[in-house]
Homo-oligomer: A and B are copies of this chain.
Amino acid sequence: MVENWDDFLFPYQEASNELKLKLRGIRSQYLERGERSPIEFVTSRIKPVDSIKEKMQRRHIDESRLSEDMEDICGLRIMCEFLDDIYTVVDVLRKRNDINILEERDYVHNEKASGYRSYHIVFSYPLQLVDGQREILAEIQIRTLAMNFWATIEHSLNYKHPDVFPPEVHERLQSASETAYKLDEEMSEIKQELDRDLKKQKDKHE
Number of copies of chain A assembled together: 4
Residue of A14, A41, A97, A187 with most partner-chain B CB within 10 A: A187
Count residues of A near B (Cβ-Cβ below 8 Å). 62
Residue of A33, A81, A159, A190 with most partner-chain B CB within 10 A: A190
Cβ of A110 under 8 Å from chain B: no
User: Could you say which residues of chain B place their CB within 8 Å of the CB of A149?
Assistant: 144-146, 148-149, 183
Which residues of chain A in 23-71 are interfacial with respect to chain B, using CB atoms and an 8 Å cutoff?
25-26, 28-30, 32-33, 36, 40-41, 43
Alpha-carbon gap, A187 to B146, bound state (A): 13
| A132 contacts B95, C-beta separation under 8 Å | yes
User: Could you say which residues of chain B place their CB within 8 Å of the CB of A186?
Assistant: 172, 176
User: Could you say which residues of chain B place their CB within 8 Å of the CB of A160?
Assistant: 36, 194, 198
Distance of A198 from chain B, by nearest CB (Å): 6
Select from chain B the residue with minimum beta-carbon distance to A158: B194
User: Could you say which residues of chain B place their CB within 8 Å of the CB of A95?
Assistant: 128, 132
| B152 contacts A197, C-beta separation under 8 Å | no
User: Could you say which residues of chain B place their CB within 8 Å of the CB of A103?
Assistant: none
Select from chain B the residue with minimum beta-carbon distance to A180: B183
**What are the 10 tightest A-B residue pairs by CB atom distance, in nearest-first order?**
A145-B149, A96-B128, A14-B25, A161-B194, A10-B32, A146-B149, A153-B187, A29-B130, A97-B133, A98-B128
